[in-house]
Amino acid sequence: MKCGTVTAGDGCTATAEDYGTATAGFAGTALAGYHGTATAGDHGTAVTGAYGTATAGDYGTAIVGDHGTALAGRGGTILVRYWDTLLGRHRVAVGEVGEGGIEADAAYVAVGGKLTRKDKLTRKDKLTRKGKLTRKGK
């Protein structure tokens, strides 16, 4: 297992490997690998691999891989990669905070191609995320 904790100041980049934690300040970029945690300040970008958690501040961008969780502040953008079982390929669910019901500082995951608040997941949603159900519920 690769682990690490990296912190960078404003406008800088912090990169951590798998299972690591990367934190960057204002307008910074935080990158973490598989199962990692990336946190960036306002106007920053937080990116993690599969099963990771990306948190960006106001006007920031949070990007996560398959089965990941993303949060962004006011005016932010959330992108969550997921596997589309019907098309047999990866896709990206995208949301803008303040549009389409996407709320600031709330954790989102991709379910059936749509962003869903993690604290609002149903049992069916959880099975869909694990690949046990298709988007049609079969």
Q: Domains of the chain: which residue ranges?
A: 5-129
* Span 2-28, average pLDDT: 88
Predicted confidence (pLDDT) per residue in 84-107, tens digit: 989 999 999 999 999 999 999 999
Q: What is the model's pTM?
A: 0.88
Predicted confidence (pLDDT) per residue in 50-95, tens digit: 999 999 999 999 999 999 999 999 999 999 999 998 999 999 999 9
pLDDT band at 138 (very low <50, low <70, confident <90, very high): very low
DSSP codes of every residue in 15-26:
EE-TT-EEEE-T
Predicted confidence (pLDDT) per residue in 117-126, tens digit: 999 998 888 7
Beta strands at 108-111 and 114-117: parallel, antiparallel or unpaired:
antiparallel
